[in-house]
Amino acid sequence: MIAFLVVLGALANALLIGCGGSKSESTSQQSATDTPPAETSARPAMGSGAGDDSVSAEIAAGMEIYVQRCSLCHGKEGKGDGPGAAGLNPKPRNHTDGTYMNDRSNAELIDVIENGKGQMPAWGKGGVLDKNQIRHVTAYLRTLATPKYTGPMP
């Protein structure tokens, strides 16, 4: 019984750290009026070859944030099976489900990350993640889906 309580306490602590995160360390300052690029902007499609270096840098930045902030619940591979998912109902979104994820617009994904949904915290509130960081996480999410996402990058 004591071992169970210790494990339960450690899991609760991990959830609080993962979901409550402190303000991220960022070298760039964002103004309150910055907005993510519109869906119709001339961003290249995934794997089109155009702008692949800048898109790759955004994906790498998004992966780093995802590992720090999202993997506790969504899992390292984005399947919704992280250690923090055990006590959640509904379970965290499976980001590898291309049928679901590829049907969502970039704006929808950005909105959920920024404002939260259900038990997911609002990462854009309180300065945890800025708009560029949220866009980078969205770009990384686009790499997880199977079948592969082929639409415009955020």
| Residue 44 pLDDT | 55
Report pLDDT digits (tens) over 109-151: 999 999 999 999 999 999 999 999 999 999 999 999 999 999 9
Is the whole model's pTM more than 0.85, yes or no? no
If phi > 0 it is left, if psi is from -120 to 50 it is alpha, else beta; for residue 111 that is: alpha
pLDDT at 47 over 90: no
Report pLDDT digits (tens) over 88-106: 999 999 999 999 999 999 9
Q: Name the maximum alpha-carbon separation found in the chain.
A: 58
What is the rounded (10 degree) CA torsion for 109, 113, 114, 119?
A: 130
Structural domain boundaries in the chain:
52-154
| Residue 46 pLDDT | 53
Superfamily of domain 52-154 in CATH is: Cytochrome c-like domain (1.10.760.10)
